[in-house]
Amino acid sequence: MDTIATDTIVAIATAAGAGGVGVLRLSGPRAASIAHLLGAPTLRPRHAHYARLRGADDEVIDDAIVLWFPAPNSFTGEEVVELQGHGSPVVLQQLVARCIALGARQARAGEFSERAFLNGKLDLAQAEAIADLIAAGDHRAARAARRSLDGVFSRRVEQVIEQLVLLRIHVEAAIDFADEPLDTLGGAQVRRGLAAARETLALLRRDAERGRRLRDGLHAVLIGPPNAGKSSLLNALAGSDRAIVTDIAGTTRDTLRETIRLDGLELTLVDTAGLRDGGDAIEREGMRRARAEIERTDLALIVLDAREPAAGEAAIGESMLAVPHKLWIHNKSDLLADAGQGSTDPDRVFVSAATGAGLDDLHARLRSIASAGAGEQVEGEFSARTRHVDAIERAQDHARQADGELAHEHLELAAEELRLAHDALGEITGQMSADDLLGRIFSSFCIGK
């Protein structure tokens, strides 16, 4: 990848639509000269200048404040010019067109942030935090993204990387003295160091998972045997007729999503096809998706027909043992002879999607699960993404493997596992990222970021 851009990019940086002020951003070697050709006076670095910006016909397009940030002291690390004109989409589009006529190119989505990353102004996790800050749904998510943008998350990652680098140096050095047993080369010390690194990783994983939840919300799936009332419950919780409710077993073939917000956390409810064997190709595809949803979920809401819960529990089986939280929902409580039946088990709740009985209780339990471990204010809380949590998990796997290899004095294999752990963490900050990964990350940004 070429880290020194030779072209100058332009984009509207403010939100689409009309506003009091609209900002155009130019970045690249020709940014200042394009501003001059538009009508800007001689620019002093980081000073506000008034200018009348003109089109090819010399007609004034708009008057504007012009700011020049010479390289490398700018957001992208390149020459940057900001034009603050009136927030008219028509005027701003005319200015963009004029800049392009004068030699700039329309910026791709995320290209300003990408250049900032490539020029070492931000690491990858920080660049992602910009997008997360802009998209934050509440003040807490915004504050967490702000911290990641400030490098709080990246520093935690760097801290583990430093631990791993020291271990790699030790192990690589020991390989060069292959005749000696590891113990005489400080093997116990290396294994203690690795244990400490693994502890740091576990804490990082926990906090990154929390940060991911702040960004994405808690993910929950509704699951259970056909006709237990999953779709009805989804509708009752979401307050809409989103899912199709019918009497025929196996009607819910696709996964349907509904999002509800509880105390600033997002619960995505996925109504899955009943987990049963057989069925046609479409139903099997529904089941495959259901299993994929279960694998990545934080919370399984297991919906049972209150009249025959045992049958439902048996049908679900072992498929979700790894899910962090489970709540057993006995639905259709209105059909029970003893309608007043409650539950003292904190993981079980009796409801009726039809009458609404017990829904308040269910809401309360969902709220408490949603805020468990995330409800209290955590010092140094930062935002993270699934991609980051995955990378930390891979690093943990490799660190565990490394420990096993060390125990057997397989130094080369241990060194390789430590390298892989290091590489996995390097993907978070972008030290180790492939071009296609970068492309995917930055293309998900908006234009003008």
φ, ψ at 80 (rounded to 5°): -125, 135
The answer for residues whose C-beta is within 8 angstroms of residue 226's C-beta and 6 or more apart is 249, 250, 251, 252, 274, 276
Least distance (Å) from ligand GDP to the CB of residue 246? 6
Note whether 254 binds ligand GDP by CB under 6 A. no
Q: What is the DSSP string of 182-227?
A: GGGGTHHHHHHHHHHHHHHHHHHHHHHHHHHHHHH--BEEEE-STT
Q: Which residue has the tokens 């160091």?
A: 193
Note whether 27 binds Zn ion by CB under 5 A. no
The answer to whether the annotation marks 119 as part of a ligand binding site is no
Contact of residue 228 among ligand GDP, Zn ion, none (CB under 5-8 Å per partner type)? ligand GDP
Within 185-244, the residues that bind ligand GDP by CB under 6 A are 224, 226-232
**Which one among 76, 148, 154, 231 touches Zn ion, defined by CB under 5 A?**
231
Within 297-326, the residues that bind ligand GDP by CB under 6 A are 303
Question: Which residue sits closest to ligand GDP, CB atoms considered?
Answer: 229
Least distance (Å) from ligand GDP to the CB of residue 295? 20
The answer for residues whose C-beta is within 8 angstroms of residue 419's C-beta and 6 or more apart is 168
Least distance (Å) from ligand GDP to the CB of residue 290? 12
Least distance (Å) from ligand GDP to the CB of residue 217? 23
By beta-carbon proximity to ligand GDP, the closer residue of 302 and 353 is 353
**Which one among 352, 383, 396, 429 touches ligand GDP, defined by CB under 6 A?**
352
Note whether 341 binds ligand GDP by CB under 6 A. no
| Number of Cβ within a 10 Å radius of residue 206 | 14
Task: Assess contact for 237 and 327: CB atoms under 8 A.
Answer: no
Contact of residue 229 among ligand GDP, Zn ion, none (CB under 5-8 Å per partner type)? ligand GDP
By beta-carbon proximity to Zn ion, the closer residue of 126 and 231 is 231
**Distance in angstroms (rounded) separating the CA atoms of residues 344 and 146:** 42
Within 353-372, the residues that bind ligand GDP by CB under 6 A are 353-354
Least distance (Å) from ligand GDP to the CB of residue 352? 4
- Window of 11-19, 59-67, 114-122, 329-337 that interacts with ligand GDP by CB under 6 A: 329-337
Structure tokens at 82: 């900001």
Q: How many residues does the chain have?
A: 449
Distances from the Cα of 328 to the Cα of 277, 295, 350, 433, angstroms: 22, 18, 9, 42
Least distance (Å) from Zn ion to the CB of residue 224? 9
Note whether 397 binds ligand GDP by CB under 6 A. no
* Continuous H helices in 335-385: 359-371
By beta-carbon proximity to ligand GDP, the closer residue of 81 and 236 is 236
Note whether 227 binds Zn ion by CB under 5 A. no
By beta-carbon proximity to Zn ion, the closer residue of 34 and 256 is 256
- Closest of 303, 312, 294, 301 to residue 353, by C-alpha: 303
Q: What is the DSSP string of 79-117?
A: -EEEEEEEE-HHHHHHHHHHHHHTT-EEPPTTHHHHHHH
**Distance in angstroms (rounded) separating the CA atoms of residues 322 and 296:** 9
Note whether 126 binds Zn ion by CB under 5 A. no
Note whether 246 binds ligand GDP by CB under 6 A. yes
Within 53-72, the residues that bind ligand GDP by CB under 6 A are none
End-to-end CA, the chain = 20
Note whether 272 binds Zn ion by CB under 5 A. no
Task: Assess contact for 263 and 215: CB atoms under 8 A.
Answer: no
Binding site for ligand GDP (CB under 6 A): 224, 226-232, 245-247, 252, 303, 331-332, 334-335, 352-354
Which residues participate in the annotated binding site for (6S)-5-formyl-5,6,7,8-tetrahydrofolate? 25, 82, 121, 449
Which residues participate in the annotated binding site? 25, 82, 121, 227-232, 246-252, 271-274, 449
Binding site for Zn ion (CB under 5 A): 230-231, 252
